[in-house]
Amino acid sequence: MTSDQQKNVMDQQQQVQQHQNHQEVVDFDEALERVGFGKFNYILIVLAGVLITTTTFETIGISFVFPVAECDLSLTTQNKGVLSGITSIGIIISSHFWGFLADQRGRKTVIVPTLILSFLASFMSSLASNFTTLVICRFICGFFIAGSSATIFAYLGEFHSSKVRSKVFMAASFIYGLASNYMPVLGFLILNRPIHFHVPIFNIIYKPWRFYLLMCGLPSLLCAIILFFFPESPKFKFSKGDEEATLNILKKIHRINNPKDVVGYNVTKVVEDVEFIDNDSREINNVSENPILMLWKQTCLLFSNKNAKNMVILCLMQCGLFGSCHGLYMFFPEIVDKLATFSNQYPDGRKTICEIFKVEDTTMTNATKYSTVISHNVNVGCSETFEIETFFHSLILEILYMVGFLLITFIINRTSKLSILWVILFGCSFSGFATLFVKIPLLSVYIYVIFMLLFLSVNVVNAATVDLFPTNLRGMAINISMMFGRIGSVMGTNIIGFTLDNYCSVTFAVSASIMSACGVLAFFIPNIRKIDGKNDKTKL
């Protein structure tokens, strides 16, 4: 052994000895900081971003199927309305249960099985031979996808300290925006392909729309397989009193993030911080082994005097955001298509979005009535392909989401969440009102796209929710607030579908007003004016 090698060995031994002499007792947030920020965190952020997107694939992906599957399944307009909301109804019904289970049994314990089961439901959806079967499969898919769609926010947040948590959420949201491009690109690659083959056991013709449904569910399966190799949330383990498992998880993450560190993780004991000390929810574990009673007690605690105000504000905001955004998103291709058609027919025409709708309704009434009569009898005129412009406009919107989330990722630790929410909500509200007055069709398209960017605010609200509630209530808090969001999406889709043709101006004005109201509600969320990372130098 050379003298240099001997010196390196002695230096390493000295570092290890110093490490053993300076092992420390720290609170949980400090323990998280000391694992470092590296490979493990980056992989988890990407995985979480894709996992968040799986809910979008399952709830909105079906909208690409309607025009090309209506002949095979004899879909009427009412049938399409039911299919638009049935997945969200499944999410609404199961969200409370999954939130409770995630708080009692573990984040990963809920996320992995529900992802696998939702994929199986998507697989069965692709084999549906009639409308009823498809509705049942989509409901089951929504029932299980709810287990991961909100719980992933708690899981992701509990691997990161309070200084970087909001930044991490928005980085995952950027991945969400990036992964969302999968949906229109997948549609472009699959839906217009002349692929047909017979499946004797189900007595169906397997067409591109069936394969598209299957591929929309595939990311759920892939995320479940990858997440299987990840540990349970260390904060959840610590909240259950398993300090040994907590330290083992933190040490494992430290080794992954710092492969060249010979000193190792220098925390030997983790103590409770303010969140754990001021946490009444721990009493639930001693109340009863009856799961129904535990569910009731935890729900009561979540809506106790201490938490009720916050929960009501968050639930109202999510309901308003989802109702306006999801409701108008489902009609995005139709609205943009009508604007484009008007511009092509009348290059110098000057009308607002709602005036164009009135022109379309007046000129197309007889044709629409005729085609409706035909479609209810022999399904003449059904199309099994899409216009390319439909995919293009959807792709542009998803790219803007991606850019928006990326921008928020860089600024969220430099400014408050309230400032970000106000810019988004009041900016989108202004755009919504502007659609009532702008008479240049091309400009109206851009303004409408800006209005649709209000969904950028949803994940900022989720980040605020994670910060507000303790570990033992966090999973249920996110799931219940998102449940109200899904209730809003079902209501919004149906109400906007009913009012858009006859009360177009009212539809946009009310949606814009709801955005302003959500901006006002955001002011009352505790700690939302706080800047999380003034001294944070973490680079994502």
The Cα–Cα gap between 374 and 381 comes to 8
Least confident of 142-151, 293-302, 416-425: 293-302
Q: Write out pLDDT tens, residues 366-420.
A: 443 333 333 333 344 455 555 566 667 677 777 888 888 888 878 877 788 888 8
% of the chain with per-residue pLDDT over 90 = 14
Residue 519 pLDDT > 60: yes
Q: Would you say 129 and 499 are in contact if contact means Cβ atoms under 8 Å apart?
A: no
Contacts of 433 (CB under 8 A, 6+ apart): 508, 509, 512
The Cα–Cα gap between 260 and 252 comes to 14
| pLDDT given for residue 42 in this prediction | 94
Residue 361 pLDDT > 60: no
Q: Write out pLDDT tens, residues 448-458.
A: 888 888 888 88
Q: Choose between 525 and 111: higher pLDDT.
A: 111
Distances (CA, A) of 154 to 198, 236, 470: 44, 10, 10
Q: Choose between 281 and 295: higher pLDDT.
A: 295
Buried b / exposed e across 3-32, counting CB within 10 Å, b at 16+? eeeeeeeeeeeeeeeeeeeeeeebebbebb
> Cα angle vertex 165, ends 160, 170, to 5°?
125
CATH number, span 27-259+291-364+384-522: 1.20.1250.20
Question: Per-residue pLDDT averaged across 1-6, rounded?
Answer: 56
Q: Write out pLDDT tens, residues 311-323.
A: 889 889 999 988 8
The Cα–Cα gap between 146 and 115 comes to 9
Q: Write out pLDDT tens, residues 154-166.
A: 899 889 888 888 8
Contacts of 67 (CB under 8 A, 6+ apart): 383, 386
Three state DSSP letters for 327-368: HHHCCHHHHHHHHHHHHHHCCCCCCCHHHHHHHHHHHHHHHH
CA 196 to chain centre: 33
Distances (CA, A) of 248 to 237, 276, 346, 400, 418: 11, 20, 68, 41, 37
Residue 428 pLDDT > 60: yes
What is the bridge-based pairing of β-strands 267-271 and 24-27?
parallel
Q: Which residues pair with 271 in a beta bridge?
A: 27
% of the chain with per-residue pLDDT over 70 = 81
Q: Which residues pair with 197 in a beta bridge?
A: 206
Q: Would you say 239 and 276 are in contact if contact means Cβ atoms under 8 Å apart?
A: yes
| pLDDT given for residue 228 in this prediction | 92
Residue 437 pLDDT > 70: yes
Residue 16 pLDDT > 70: no
Structure confidence at residue 288 as a pLDDT band (50, 70, 90): very low
CB atoms within 10 A of CB 469: 24
Question: Per-residue pLDDT averaged across 91-112, rounded?
Answer: 87
> Cα angle vertex 489, ends 172, 408, to 5°?
25
Q: Which residues pair with 417 in a beta bridge?
A: none
The Cα–Cα gap between 40 and 99 comes to 25
pTM to 2 decimals? 0.73
Domain residue ranges in the chain: 27-259+291-364+384-522
Q: Tokens standing for 87?
A: 């997945």
Structure confidence at residue 277 as a pLDDT band (50, 70, 90): low
Nearest to 119 by CA among 219, 203, 8, 187: 219
Least confident of 66-75, 230-239, 452-461, 475-484: 66-75
One-letter identity of residue 456: L
The Cα–Cα gap between 428 and 431 comes to 5
Q: Write out pLDDT tens, residues 38-62.
A: 999 999 999 999 998 888 888 877 7
Nearest to 282 by CA among 470, 482, 436, 410: 470
Nearest to 303 by CA among 148, 99, 150: 99
Backbone angles phi, psi at 84, to 5 degrees: -65, -35
**Would you give the DSSP letter of residue 279?**
-
| pLDDT given for residue 538 in this prediction | 53
| pLDDT given for residue 371 in this prediction | 37
Nearest to 50 by CA among 226, 256, 230, 235: 226
